[in-house]
């Protein structure tokens, strides 16, 4: 039987390593873009949460004031405020039904 001689095979991996490094940099660049977009969205959401918290605190203050009026028995003033709020709401709804908005643009 003949014995085959094993030849030493040398594979050059430099090109493959270059491609892998380029792919790693591309992934890192894409991830940094995604992180910056997420941070900007987070900033907008946090600003909106701050505004909503301000509105909630205002409404809570109005609610505690209304509860205090109920406890004091000052129902006449409370009914007057409720009627004025209802009339404003009806007026806004009537305006919403009647007003038509037209956008005109020159081309």
Distance CA 89, CA 82 (A): 10
pLDDT 10s digits, 44-88:
888 888 888 888 888 888 888 878 877 776 677 778 888 888 888
Give the whole-angstrom CA distance, residue 16 versus residue 11. Answer: 11
Alpha helices in 4-106 (DSSP H): 14-72, 75-98
Locate 91 and state its tokens: 């007026």
The reported pLDDT for the residue numbered 30 is: 94
- Span 14-26, pLDDT tens digits: 888 999 999 999 9
Cα angle 100, 102, 107; round to 5: 175
The residue assigned the tokens 């430099």 is: 14
């Amino acid at each position: 039987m003949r014995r085959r001689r094993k030849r030493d095979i040398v594979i050059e991996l430099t090109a493959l390593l270059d491609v892998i490094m380029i792919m790693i940099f591309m992934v890192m660049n894409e991830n940094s873009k995604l992180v910056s977009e997420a941070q900007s969205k987070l900033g907008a959401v946090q600003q909106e949460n701050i505004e909503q918290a301000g509105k909630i605190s205002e409404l809570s203050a109005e609610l505690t004031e209304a509860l205090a009026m109920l406890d004091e028995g000052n129902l006449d003033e409370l009914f007057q405020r409720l009627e004025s709020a209802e009339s404003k709401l009806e007026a806004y709804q009537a305006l919403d039904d009647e007003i038509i908005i037209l956008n005109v643009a020159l081309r």
